[in-house]
Amino acid sequence: QQPVQSPQAVILREGEDAVINCSSSKALYSVHWYRQKHGEAPVFLMILLKGGEQKGHEKISASFNEKKQQSSLYLTASQLSYSGTYFCGTEGPYNTDKLIFGTGTRLQVFP
């Protein structure tokens, strides 16, 4: 089943922070995060494999709560380049399973 992302859309000013959530109805092995700009291919951001794991990439970080079957993506001090649609992809309960992408969160950052 498709994971649910919230919010569906976010509008920010440069420098503001945002959190994007991804919830699954089934047990997860891993969560992947991607960003897609309009008309382009999705770009890999990060993968989280363990419960409670946190990862960071510059000012973008994420957490994965295995028990709650949830992941959150944190964008701090947003930049114009952060604009796009963010998708989580969930794999589980085993690592042999396919990646199911979430409903997407559209993020727009304005100067």
Question: How far is 94 from 102, CA to CA, in rounded Å?
Answer: 18
Size of interface with other proteins, in residues (CB under 8 A): 24
The CB density around residue 39, as the number of other CB atoms within 10 Å, is 5
Decide if residue 81 touches other proteins (CB under 8 A). Answer: no
Q: What is the DSSP letter of 99?
A: P
CB-based contacts of 66, cutoff 8 Å, min separation 6: 27, 28, 50, 51, 52
Residue selected from 20, 32, 107, 109 as contacting other proteins according to rule CB under 8 A: 32
Question: How far is 85 from 15, CA to CA, in rounded Å?
Answer: 18
Query: In a 3-state reduction of DSSP, which class is residue 96?
Result: coil
Which of the ranges 11-19, 26-34, 63-71, 76-84 carries the binding residues for other proteins, by CB under 8 A? 26-34
Nearer to other proteins, 16 or 49 (CB): 49
Nearer to other proteins, 16 or 97 (CB): 97
Nearer to other proteins, 40 or 58 (CB): 40
Which residues contact other proteins (rule: CB under 8 A)?
Answer: 2, 29-30, 32, 34, 40-44, 47, 87, 89, 91, 95-104
